[in-house]
């Protein structure tokens, strides 16, 4: 069978697209990967998604969006898309665990994955002091000491943002020189709540059952190891958009983010749309992802209607 539309990914972008398309009787099929719900399921409480004055757990928010999409008839299948063929319509997806699927239109909402340091103690303390999202989790560190790892614009931005809550933000970077733009560096350097530990390589996240102790680092000048004490650790060393499976068939920028036509969700292939973090290197918020998912659904719906109209008048 050929689906009208297949949505790849079940973060807030994909699920919002599913709600809109299902409600418009477009019977979308949603491909759910091995981390259903996306990045929000790795955070604890979401306090900045409008409509939840008391906050909501990330996992609950995603589960609610999924139920809402199902209520209008969206179907879900679990699998990981290995490759795509966008050379002719209907478009074909090769999905691990399912096989080949075909659809007249595709919405790509596979998100981006925050990069981690890959050091001992890091993974087991995600949500227990280790985070990759200052906007999501900064609030929990009011009056506490925080370490931010990274030397790029994101690290500067997150460090400055976190000074709103923390008593001290320590910026740890593996080199002497920062990668960040001058303006972002200047902004961080002007903030007297930020202290600097440059030329330090992160070695291990130290924690007790009660919380973080800090970050063990090696001083690259002296070779000595030290424990930098902190209650929270924000890893801000970049994101990787999940676009590898597209095999270069969709235009991306040099970092792999899908390029959409300004003000739309259209990619370079007619009938293929992108929304959420896979096409957004700037905002990366649940609410902006959901908004772009709505745009993709409306763009897709118009495309399918125009195709149906053309078929009738052919």
d(CA 130, CA 197): 18
Among 151, 232, 241, 293, binds ligand NAP (CB under 6 A): 151
Look-up of token digits 């979308």? 28
137 is catalytic: yes
**Looking at 137, 153, 277, 280, which residue is catalytic?**
137
Among 157, 231, 277, 301, binds ligand NAP (CB under 6 A): 157
Stretch that binds ligand NAP, among 69-77, 124-132, 146-154, 283-291 (CB under 6 A): 146-154
For ligand NAP, give the closer residue by CB, 144 or 179.
179
The three-state secondary structure class of 2 is: strand
Task: Tell the smallest beta-carbon distance from residue 111 to ligand NAP (Å).
Answer: 15
Asked if 162 contacts 138 with a C-beta cutoff of 8 angstroms, the reply is: yes
Count the neighbouring beta carbons within 10 Å of the beta carbon of residue 254.
5
Task: Tell the smallest beta-carbon distance from residue 148 to ligand NAP (Å).
Answer: 10
280 touches ligand NAP (CB under 6 A): no
- Among 209, 24, 217, smallest CA distance to 105 is for 24
218 touches ligand NAP (CB under 6 A): no
Binders of ligand NAP among residues 64 to 103 (CB under 6 A) are none
Among 55, 73, 90, 152, binds ligand NAP (CB under 6 A): 152
> Rounded to 10 degrees, what is the CA torsion of 106, 108, 109, 111?
160
169 touches ligand NAP (CB under 6 A): no
155 touches ligand NAP (CB under 6 A): yes
d(CA 161, CA 166): 9
**Looking at 104, 136, 153, 280, which residue is catalytic?**
136
Asked if 160 contacts 183 with a C-beta cutoff of 8 angstroms, the reply is: no
**Looking at 133, 277, 280, 300, which residue is catalytic?**
133
153 touches ligand NAP (CB under 6 A): yes
Q: Is it true that the peptide bond before 90 is cis, omega within 30 degrees of 0?
A: yes
238 touches ligand NAP (CB under 6 A): yes
Contacts of residue 200, defined as CB under 8 A and 6 or more positions apart, other chains included, come to 172, 173, 174, 217, 218, 219, 220, 228
Among 117, 159, 166, 250, binds ligand NAP (CB under 6 A): 117
Half-sphere exposure of 285 toward its Cβ, with a 13 Å CA cutoff?
13
Q: How many residues of this chain bind ligand NAP (CB under 6 A)?
A: 15
Task: Tell the smallest beta-carbon distance from residue 35 to ligand NAP (Å).
Answer: 20
Contacts of residue 236, defined as CB under 8 A and 6 or more positions apart, other chains included, come to 132, 134, 148, 149, 150, 152, 154, 155, 158, 159
Catalytic positions are 133, 136-137
Which chain residues interact with ligand NAP by CB under 6 A? 117, 149-155, 157, 174-175, 179, 237-238, 281
């Amino acid at each position: 069978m050929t689906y009208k539309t297949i949505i790849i990914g079940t973060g807030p972008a994909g699920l919002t697209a599913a709600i809109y398309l299902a409600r418009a009787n477009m019977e979308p099929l949603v491909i759910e990967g091995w981390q259903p719900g996306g990045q929000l399921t790795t955070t604890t409480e979401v306090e900045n998604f409008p409509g939840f004055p008391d906050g909501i757990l990330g996992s609950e928010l995603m589960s609610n969006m999924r139920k809402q999409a199902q209520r209008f008839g969206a179907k879900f299948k679990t699998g990981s898309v290995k490759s795509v063929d966008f050379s002719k319509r209907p478009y074909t997806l090769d999905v691990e665990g399912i096989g080949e699927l075909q659809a007249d239109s595709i919405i790509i909402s596979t998100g981006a994955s925050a990069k981690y340091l890959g050091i001992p103690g890091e993974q087991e303390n995600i949500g227990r002091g280790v985070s990759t999202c200052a906007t999501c989790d900064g609030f929990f560190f009011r009056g506490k000491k925080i370490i931010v790892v990274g030397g790029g614009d994101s690290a500067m931005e997150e460090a400055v943002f976190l000074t709103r809550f923390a008593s001290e933000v320590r910026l740890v970077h593996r080199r002497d020189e920062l990668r960040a733009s001058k303006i972002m560096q200047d902004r961080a350097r002007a903030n007297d709540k930020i202290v600097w530990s440059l030329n330090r390589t992160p070695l291990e996240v130290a924690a007790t059952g009660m919380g973080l102790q800090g970050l063990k680092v090696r001083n690259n000048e002296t070779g000595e190891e030290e424990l930098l004490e902190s209650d929270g650790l924000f890893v801000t060393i970049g994101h990787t958009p999940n676009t590898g499976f597209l095999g270069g068939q969709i235009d991306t920028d040099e970092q792999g983010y899908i390029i959409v036509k300004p003000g739309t969700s259209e990619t370079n292939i007619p009938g293929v749309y992108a929304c959420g973090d896979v096409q957004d290197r700037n905002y990366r918020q649940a609410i902006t992802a959901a908004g772009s998912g709505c745009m993709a659904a409306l763009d897709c719906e118009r495309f399918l209607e125009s195709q149906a109209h053309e078929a009738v008048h052919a």
